[in-house]
Amino acid sequence: MEIPPAVIDIIHRALEEDTGPGDITSTLLIPEQNKSKAIFIAKGDFVVAGIPFAKKVFTILDSSIVFKPLFNEGAKIKKGDIIAEVSGKTLAILAGERLSLNILQRLSGIADLTRKYVGKVAGTKAKIVDTRKTTPCLRFMEKYAVRIGGGGNHRFGLFDGILIKDNHIKAVGSIKKAVERAKTGHHLLKIEVEVENRQGLMEAIDAGADIVMLDNMSIDEMEGAIKISQGKVILEASGGITLENVREIAETGIDLISVGAITHSFKAADISLKIIT
Amino acid sequence: MEIPPAVIDIIHRALEEDTGPGDITSTLLIPEQNKSKAIFIAKGDFVVAGIPFAKKVFTILDSSIVFKPLFNEGAKIKKGDIIAEVSGKTLAILAGERLSLNILQRLSGIADLTRKYVGKVAGTKAKIVDTRKTTPCLRFMEKYAVRIGGGGNHRFGLFDGILIKDNHIKAVGSIKKAVERAKTGHHLLKIEVEVENRQGLMEAIDAGADIVMLDNMSIDEMEGAIKISQGKVILEASGGITLENVREIAETGIDLISVGAITHSFKAADISLKIIT
Amino acid sequence: MEIPPAVIDIIHRALEEDTGPGDITSTLLIPEQNKSKAIFIAKGDFVVAGIPFAKKVFTILDSSIVFKPLFNEGAKIKKGDIIAEVSGKTLAILAGERLSLNILQRLSGIADLTRKYVGKVAGTKAKIVDTRKTTPCLRFMEKYAVRIGGGGNHRFGLFDGILIKDNHIKAVGSIKKAVERAKTGHHLLKIEVEVENRQGLMEAIDAGADIVMLDNMSIDEMEGAIKISQGKVILEASGGITLENVREIAETGIDLISVGAITHSFKAADISLKIIT
Amino acid sequence: MEIPPAVIDIIHRALEEDTGPGDITSTLLIPEQNKSKAIFIAKGDFVVAGIPFAKKVFTILDSSIVFKPLFNEGAKIKKGDIIAEVSGKTLAILAGERLSLNILQRLSGIADLTRKYVGKVAGTKAKIVDTRKTTPCLRFMEKYAVRIGGGGNHRFGLFDGILIKDNHIKAVGSIKKAVERAKTGHHLLKIEVEVENRQGLMEAIDAGADIVMLDNMSIDEMEGAIKISQGKVILEASGGITLENVREIAETGIDLISVGAITHSFKAADISLKIIT
Amino acid sequence: MEIPPAVIDIIHRALEEDTGPGDITSTLLIPEQNKSKAIFIAKGDFVVAGIPFAKKVFTILDSSIVFKPLFNEGAKIKKGDIIAEVSGKTLAILAGERLSLNILQRLSGIADLTRKYVGKVAGTKAKIVDTRKTTPCLRFMEKYAVRIGGGGNHRFGLFDGILIKDNHIKAVGSIKKAVERAKTGHHLLKIEVEVENRQGLMEAIDAGADIVMLDNMSIDEMEGAIKISQGKVILEASGGITLENVREIAETGIDLISVGAITHSFKAADISLKIIT
Amino acid sequence: MEIPPAVIDIIHRALEEDTGPGDITSTLLIPEQNKSKAIFIAKGDFVVAGIPFAKKVFTILDSSIVFKPLFNEGAKIKKGDIIAEVSGKTLAILAGERLSLNILQRLSGIADLTRKYVGKVAGTKAKIVDTRKTTPCLRFMEKYAVRIGGGGNHRFGLFDGILIKDNHIKAVGSIKKAVERAKTGHHLLKIEVEVENRQGLMEAIDAGADIVMLDNMSIDEMEGAIKISQGKVILEASGGITLENVREIAETGIDLISVGAITHSFKAADISLKIIT
C-alpha cells in the first residue's frame, strides 16, 4: 500500500490538531538535542493494524527518526508484546506519541473486530465487507484496517460504485427507472440496488442490477431472496448485523454481509508508548 | 458554541473524502433542480449530540438548504423520534447525508456513553472528563459531545495545559526537576503530574504540582492518596476506568475521573435519513 | 450537476494564479464602487460547455454578481451569439474575466470535438468515451464537457475502476494472475484488461475479465476480436483514434471507443467578454 | 528554473485528483516491495518540454525514485526515442505514470507548436509571445514550455504588467485618462494599451503608453501603425494569428506577436511509459 | 480595492492562529444567542488604514455581522474618535476582536509613518515608496497601507519587476552582462539596477537600465548621480533613510526614495474595541 | 524547540507570497547549476533571534542547502558580525534571501526590545510578558523571540488560558458571575480577570480569580492593589507600559508586566545577506 497524498494531508492536519502552537510541557522540560528510544507495548490481546500510518506520523515530524516494527500488520498481538520501537529526538517522539497511538488503537480495534466477524462466517461463502459508516477523514485508514482484519471493502465513496438506495428510488419513482438511468454511467461500475422485500428484489433483477442489497431482511426473507435470485445477481445482507446473528445469515448462502459496526462501534485496542532509554 | 475555522476546514475535507469527483449515482438519477424534504429518524434510544455540525455539512454544500432541528442538543431521543428536518435540493441533501449521519451517530454515541458515566457518579464530587484519546481530526467535535453528555474536558492538546507524564519524568530524571522546569511556563497554565504510587504523589505535592493524576491505582491506593493530599492538590483517577468500577472510584472522594473509552470505544447511535417528499 | 468541493478549491487556486496580489491595471483605473454589465460573445461556431463553472468563478469573487446564461449547456452556438450576461462590480467582472473565459473556451472546445466524434459514429452501437489523458487539476470539468458533447466517461481516476494495463501484466507475469488478484477488489468494480492481440484477448476472457481494451489494433484485428468475444465481454477500441478512422472502427461493432484527443488535443472555442454598460 | 512553491502545490493537487483514495488496480496486483525500471518513449516527433515537472511528480511520490532524463529540454525528439528512465518502487512509478505523461505531453505540445511559430518568423525582428489564455492552474508550466519552444512570455497575470484593454477604456472613458491613472502604478511596470485602430494608436502614443497592442488589425493597418509609431512605442500584434498568416505579420516589422493558440489549441505530443524490467 | 483570494486565505489562517480550538473564555461565559454592539475607539492620533480587512475578519466569522466604518481610509483620527461600529453575535465579535485590532493597529501605524515621510518631502519631486521588507504573509495589506499613507509601491515580489542587486552582479560578473540577460525578460517589465557608486551608475546607464537604485550614497554622491543621469534613467535613493535625512535627500532632485522602515519599524496605532450594548 | 506543522505552513505561504510565479530576475540572470556561499551580516548591534526559522526557509526551498549559524539564539550581535553562512544553489539562496531576512530582522528586533525591558526590571520580582498583540500569522515566531529576549509568554491564543476582560464582564453582568462560569472550564487553566480599579480587584479576589490584570492603573493604584491582594492572586500590570515607566512599575512589587509594544512597535534589526563566492 502506498499512502495517497490526501491521507498524508490528513495526518498533517491531525498533527496540527494535537500540537497546535507546540507541546508546551515537553518544550519546557526537555532539551532539543535529547534522544530517546521508546517502545509501543500492547496492554491487551488484539489484531494489530496501522503500523505504516504510525510510522508516517513520526517521519513527518522528523525525517531522521527510526521506526522499527516488530510485527507484521494483521499479527495477533498478546498483552505485553512490543509492537514497534521508535528512536530519535525525544521531542519528536513525544510530539508523535498520542497521534500514532490514536491511529494504532483505532485501526487495531477495527481489524480485531473484523477478524471476529470473519471468523464467525468461516467455511461459508459469505464475505464480510465494510460500509461508508466510517469516521470522517479517516476512511482510507479504516477501510485498510478492515482488509487487514480479513474483511473486504465496499465502495470507498459516492464515486466508485453505483448504489441505488431507498432515497434514490423515492426520488426517481421506481427501481426500473433508476437502474435504467444508472446504466448511462461509466462501464467499469456495477450497479447495486437496495431493496426491502421480495418485490423489490424481483424488480431489481428485471431491471438488470448487478448486485442487490437486502436491507434488514429476516433469515427467512433472505433465503427466499437467494431462491429468487438463482445466482443472477450478487446478494448483500445489510442492516442489523451482529456477532450473534452473522453466522446464521452467512449460512443462508448470501454473498456479502456488510457490517457498519466494524468501523463505527469497535473497541479501541489498548497500547501505550514507553520511553526506555 | 461558534464552530472554529479549523473545524470547518475538517468538515470540508470530510466532504471531499466522501464525494471525491462527485456522487455518481445521484448525478445519474436525479435532475439538478429536484427538491426534497428529508428527516433524521432515530433507530434507537440515545442522547443526541452534533446537530450544529450536521447542519454545517449541509450549509457548506448549499447555502439555501433549510435545516431545522426538532430537539435540543443533549435531549434524550427515543426510537422513532424525528431529530431534524432538512429541505432543499435533492442532490445536496444526498451529498450531505452520509457525512451528517456519520457525525451525528458518533457524537451521539459519545454523549450517550458520557451520560452513562456521569449518571454512575451522581451524588459524588467526582467529575467525569475526557482525554486526548480522541479520533484524529475530530477532537473538537468529540470533546464538545463529551460536554453535551454532561462530562468535562481535560486539556485540548499539547498546548493548553502542562501535563508531566511518565515519559517526561523518565527523560528529565525526577518529578522535582520536571515541575521546576514546568513552572517557567506561562502563568495561566496549571501543572499536572502523573504518578504511579504514593511516593510519586508526595514528590509531586512537594514540588508544587497543582493536580496529580493517579495512574492505574487500586481503590485502596486512591484512598491513601486522598489522605496524603488533604486537598492540597486536585486528584485525577486515570486508567482502566469502566462503567462497572467508576462508582467505586468516585466514592473514594477523588476530584476527576478521566475516561478514554468515552471517545475511543463508544457505540455509535443508530440514525437514518429518509426522504419524505 | 453539483460542483464537488475539490473542484471549487481548484477554481480558487486558479483565481489566485491569475490575480496574485491583485489586478493592478483595474485597481489603478476603476473606482471600487463602479458597476458594469458585460456579455460573453461567441467569435465562432461551437457547442458550448462550462457555464456553471464560469458562473462559479464570479460568485466566488463576489456573491452579489448576477450571472445569467442565455443558452443551455450543449447548445450549438453561432458566431455572434451572446452566451451569457454578467452584471455587478466592474472590478469583480474584470477579475473573473480571463479565468471564466479560459474555462468556457476549453470546455466548449472539448464538447465541440466530442460532438464531432459522436456524430461520426451515429447509428452504430459504439459509444465515444474519454480517457485519463486530461489536463492536470481539470479532470472533473473536462469529463463533464465530454458528457455535454454527447460522449461517455471512462473511469475518473485510479480508484473507480480496475484497469489492468500492459505495465501491470508485465509486473505480474500473466493476464490470468492479474485478473485473479483483481477479483479480490470490491464488488462494485468491473475488471478491464488491455490486450495487444488475439492471444491476450482469449486469455482475458478466460480469466474472467468484464471488459477488454483492444490497444492499437487494426480494423481486421478488431473484427477478429469481436468474433472471438461473442458478446462475452465489452470491447473497447483504444489508441490512434482520429476523426478520419473512427467511423470505420465503430462499424466493426465495437462497444466503446476511447479517444484521448478529445481532452488533450482539442481547439479552444473563441469567446470574448465585452463590457456593454 | 526553480519550481516555485505554488507550482509544487498544484502538482500535489493533481496527484490527489488522479490517485484519490489509491490506485486500486496496482494495489491489488503488485506487492509493495516490487521494484521496476521504466522508460518514457516518444510515439512521434516533437520538441520535448516538461522534464523537470515530470521528475517532480515522482520525487513527490517517493523520494527514493531515480529519474534520469536522456534529453535536454527543448531537444527535438524522434519517434522511438527514449526521453527518460525512471527506476524505483513499481507502485510509485505507476502512481506517477499518468500525471507525468499528461504534463510532458501537454508541455511538449506547447513547445512544439511554439517552435513552429518561431520558425515561421525567423529572420524578422518579431518575437512570438504567449498570452494569459493558458490552462487554469497550469500557467507557470505552460509559459515555461513557451520559452523552451523559443517563444517569449507576455505578463504572467494581472499583477506583473499594466495592460489597458478595451473593457478598461470603456469603463474609464478615454485612453488618455486610462494611461494617466495607470502612471500612478509602480515604477517597474510598463504600460501597454490595446487599440483597435489608428486613432487609438495615436491617442495611446500621445498619452505616453510604452507598448501598444494592435488588436485584430489587417496587414495594411499594421503597416500604417508602424509608420505612425516610428519606434516611439513597442508594437504588438494580437488576435487571429495563425501559422498561415504569422510570417506576413512579422514582415510588417512588428515587434511582438502574441499567439493564444500556442497554449490553448496545441496538439499534445504522443508519449508513453513502458516498464522494461 | 478587491481583496484577492490569497489574502482572504491569510485572514483565515490568522483566525485559526488566534482561535485554535475555540475561545474558551467567551464560550464559557456568554450564551450563543447573545448580541452586542461594539465600537473601535482611537486611543491616540493617527492616520487610519485597514478598515476593509477588519471588516473582512468579521464577515468571515459570521456573515450576518454588520460592520459600519465611520471614517474613510486615510482619515486623520484623533484620540477618542470612534472609527467603526460592529453589531451582531457577541461570540463572533469577541472572536474577531484581537485579529481586527492587530490588523488595524499595524496598518494604521504604517499609513501614519508613511504620511510623515510623505509630508517631509512635500514640494519636491521625490516619491516615497516601500520595499519588500514587509511582514511575512502581510505584504498585500502592508503595501496597501503605504498607499493609504500617500506613498507609492515598489514591486510586490520577485516576479513583477526586474531588480538587479549586488548579489546578482556578483554572480553574473558585470552590470553589463546582467542587464543584457535581463532584457530577455517580458516586455512589460522595466529593469532596475542597484549600484554603489558613480562607476556602477554609468555602467548601468550604458547597459540600458530603466531605473538605477543608489544604494547608501551620500548626498554629494546622489547629486553627482543626478548630474550623470541627466534624466536618462529614473533614480531611486535607498538605504539608511530616516525622517531626519529624507528631506535633504529629496531636495537633491531624486525621483524615488524607498524606505524599509515604514513597513518594518513603525509604531502600531493604539486602538481598542469596547462593547457598548 | 520543534517548529510545529502550522508554522511550517506559514513559512510556505510566505515563500509563495514573495516568489509567486518565480524570481524573474534571478531566473533570467543565473544558470540553474550555479552554486554560491553567502553570509548574513549584522549592520547594527542587537540580540539575535529567529535563526531556526531562517534555516527552515532555505531547507524548504532546497533540502541540499547547508545553513551554518555562527551564533546562538539570544547572542548579542555587534555591527559587522557574521551571523550565519548559507551555501548551495545560487537560485535557492536568492529565493530565500528576503524571507529569511524579514524573519531574522523582525524576531531580532523583538528579542532586542524585550531584552531592554527585561534589563530595566532586573533585580525586581517582575517578569516581562508578551500579549496577543502580535502580527497575524507570526504569533508562534514572535512569542518565541520574546522568550529568546528573556521575557515570558502570556497565553498563546483564545484557547490556552481564561482571561475575563472588560467586554466579557460587560456582557455577563458582573465579575462574580463571570468567574463562576469560568470555573466550569477545564482544570488545567487558571482564571485571570482584568480590572480597572480597586473595587474590581476585590470582587475578582472574592470570586476566586487566580490572576488579576490591573488595567492602566497608576503607580499608586498598583501599590494599593498589592496591599489588597496580599499574595492571594498573581498581579499583572498592563496598559501604557514603556521603557521609561517599567522600572517604577516593577518596583511596586507587581508579579507580571505585559508589554504589547515588544511585538507591535519594535524596530527591526538591520541585517543583510551578501554572496561572497
pTM over 0.90: yes
Report pLDDT for C159: 96
Quote the CA–CA distance of C254 and C248 in Å, as a whole number: 10
User: For B16-31, how does the pLDDT look when each residue is reduced to its tens digit (9 = 90+)?
Assistant: 999 999 999 999 999 9
- Let me know whether C169 and C242 are in one domain: yes
Quote the CA–CA distance of A192 and E15 in Å, as a whole number: 45
Quote the CA–CA distance of F87 and A125 in Å, as a whole number: 64
Q: What percent of chain B has pLDDT over 90?
A: 99
Residue C263 grid coordinates: 481532452
Specify whether the CB–CB gap between D236 and D217 falls below 8 A: no
Specify whether the CB–CB gap between D20 and D68 falls below 8 A: no
Q: Does position E1 have pLDDT exceeding 90, yes or no? A: no
Residue F46 grid coordinates: 542587537
- Let me know whether A106 and A215 are in one domain: no
Prediction ipTM score: 0.95
- Let me know whether C103 and C124 are in one domain: no
Q: Is B43 among the catalytic positions? A: no
Q: Between residues 151 and 190 of chain D, which touch chain C (CB distance below 8 Å)?
A: 156-168, 170-172, 178, 181-182, 184-186, 189
Residue F31 grid coordinates: 544558470
Q: Which residues of E touch B147 (CB under 8 A)?
A: none
Beta-carbon separation of D21 and B20 below 8 A: yes
- Let me know whether D87 and D178 are in one domain: no
User: For A82-138, how does the pLDDT look when each residue is reduced to its tens digit (9 = 90+)?
Assistant: 999 999 999 999 999 999 999 999 999 999 999 999 999 999 999 999 999 999 999
Query: 3-class DSSP state for residue C257?
Result: strand
For chain D, the farthest-separated pair of C-alpha atoms sits apart, in whole angstroms, at 71
Q: Does position C154 have pLDDT exceeding 90, yes or no? A: yes
Residue entry with cell 462593547: E275
Query: Considering chain B, what is the average pLDDT of its residues?
Result: 96
pLDDT (mean) for B191-202: 97
User: For C5-27, how does the pLDDT look when each residue is reduced to its tens digit (9 = 90+)?
Assistant: 999 999 999 999 999 999 999 99
Residue D42 grid coordinates: 516518444
Report pLDDT for A2: 82
Q: Which residues fall within 8 angstroms of residue A257, CB to CB, at 6 or more apart?
A: A117, A121, A126, A127, A128, A129, A236, A237, A238, A241, A246, A249, A250
For residue E206, how many other CB atoms are within 10 A of its CB?
A: 12
Bridge partner list, E215: E238
Q: Between residues 250 and 269 of chain F, which touch chain E (CB distance below 8 Å)?
A: 260-261, 264-268
DSSP string, C190-239: -EEEEESSHHHHHHHHHHT-SEEEEES--HHHHHHHHHHHTTSSEEEEES
Residues making up chain C, counted from first to last? 277
Query: 3-class DSSP state for residue E100?
Result: helix
- Let me know whether D90 and D124 are in one domain: no
Q: Is B133 among the catalytic positions? A: yes
- Let me know whether B133 and B94 are in one domain: no
CA angle B5, B8, B13 (to 5 degrees): 130
Report pLDDT for A120: 98
Q: Is C98 among the catalytic positions? A: yes
Report pLDDT for D181: 96
Quote the CA–CA distance of E104 and E51 in Å, as a whole number: 7
| β E256-258/E127-129 pair status | parallel
Probe site for chain C from B16, B17, B34, B59 (most C CB atoms < 10 A): B16
Report pLDDT for D1: 74
Three-state DSSP string of D148-208:
HCCCECCCCCCCCCEEECHHHHHHHCCHHHHHHHHCCCCCCECEEEEECCHHHHHHHHHHC
Specify whether the CB–CB gap between C131 and C146 falls below 8 A: no
Q: Between residues 8 and 37 of chain B, which touch chain D (CB distance below 8 Å)?
A: 17, 20-21
- Let me know whether B136 and B254 are in one domain: yes
CATH of residue F81: 3.90.1170.20
User: Which helix (H) or strand (E) element contains residue A119?
Assistant: helix A90-120
Specify whether the CB–CB gap between B54 and C42 falls below 8 A: no
AA letter at D72: N
Query: 3-class DSSP state for residue E6?
Result: helix
- Let me know whether D130 and D240 are in one domain: yes
Q: What percent of chain A has pLDDT over 70?
A: 100
User: For D248-273, how does the pLDDT look when each residue is reduced to its tens digit (9 = 90+)?
Assistant: 999 999 999 999 999 999 999 999 99
Q: Which of D12, D27, D89 sits opposite A5 (nearest CB)?
A: D12
User: For B206-241, how does the pLDDT look when each residue is reduced to its tens digit (9 = 90+)?
Assistant: 999 999 999 999 999 999 999 999 999 999 999 999
Nearest chain F residue (CA) to A12: F5
- Let me know whether B133 and B203 are in one domain: yes
Give the domain range for residue E200. 120-264
Report pLDDT for F93: 97
Quote the CA–CA distance of F8 and E268 in Å, as a whole number: 26
Q: Does position B2 have pLDDT exceeding 90, yes or no? A: no
Confidence band for F233, pLDDT divided at 50, 70 and 90: very high
pLDDT (mean) for C197-208: 97
Give me the sheet containing E127-129, strands edge to edge.
E127-129, E256-258, E234-238, E211-215, E191-195, E162-164
Query: 3-class DSSP state for residue E120?
Result: helix
φ, ψ dihedrals at D238, nearest 5°: -150, 145
Q: Does position C1 have pLDDT exceeding 90, yes or no? A: no
- Let me know whether A39 and A89 are in one domain: yes
Q: Tell me the shortest Cα–Cα distance from A3 to chain D, in angstroms.
A: 8
Query: Considering chain A, what is the average pLDDT of its residues?
Result: 96
Residue entry with cell 500556442: D262
Residue B139 grid coordinates: 477532537
Three-state DSSP string of chain B:
CCCCHHHHHHHHHHHHHHHCCCCHHHHHHCCCCCEEEEEEEECCCEECCCHHHHHHHHHHHCCCCEEEECCCCCCEECCCCEEEEEEEEHHHHHHHHHHHHHHHHHHHHHHHHHHHHHHHCCCCCCEEECCCCCCCCCHHHHHHHHHHCCCECCCCCCCCCEEECHHHHHHHCCHHHHHHHHCCCCCCECEEEEECCHHHHHHHHHHCCCEEEEECCCHHHHHHHHHHHCCCCEEEEECCCCCCCHHHHHCCCCCEEECCHHHHCCCCCCEEEEECC
Confidence band for F2, pLDDT divided at 50, 70 and 90: confident
Report pLDDT for E2: 82
CATH of residue C217: 3.20.20.70
Report pLDDT for A191: 97
Specify whether the CB–CB gap between B138 and B14 falls below 8 A: no
Q: Which among A270, A234, A269 is positioned nearest to A253, based on CA atoms? A: A234
Domain count, chain C: 2
Beta-carbon separation of E162 and F25 below 8 A: yes
User: For E155-177, how does the pLDDT look when each residue is reduced to its tens digit (9 = 90+)?
Assistant: 999 999 999 999 999 999 999 99
Q: Which residues of E touch F30 (CB under 8 A)?
A: 168, 171-172
pLDDT (mean) for D210-223: 97
Quote the CA–CA distance of B270 and B275 in Å, as a whole number: 17
- Let me know whether C164 and C246 are in one domain: yes
Residue A240 grid coordinates: 442489523
pLDDT (mean) for A23-33: 95
Q: Tell me the shortest Cα–Cα distance from E159 to chain D, in angstroms.
A: 7
User: For F89-140, how does the pLDDT look when each residue is reduced to its tens digit (9 = 90+)?
Assistant: 999 999 999 999 999 999 999 999 999 999 999 999 999 999 999 999 999 9
Confidence band for B189, pLDDT divided at 50, 70 and 90: very high
Confidence band for F195, pLDDT divided at 50, 70 and 90: very high
DSSP string, E154-219: --SSTTSSEEE-HHHHHHHS-HHHHHHHHTTS-TTB-EEEEESSHHHHHHHHHHT-SEEEEET--H
| β B66-69/B82-89 pair status | antiparallel
User: Which are the catalytic amino acids of F?
Assistant: 98, 133, 165, 194, 215
φ, ψ dihedrals at D267, nearest 5°: -105, 125
Beta-carbon separation of B188 and F256 below 8 A: no
Radius of gyration of chain D (CA): 22
Report pLDDT for D265: 94
- Let me know whether F191 and F260 are in one domain: yes
User: Which are the catalytic amino acids of E?
Assistant: 98, 133, 165, 194, 215
Quote the CA–CA distance of A65 and A54 in Å, as a whole number: 12
Neighbours of chain C (3+ CB pairs under 8 A): A, B, D, E, F
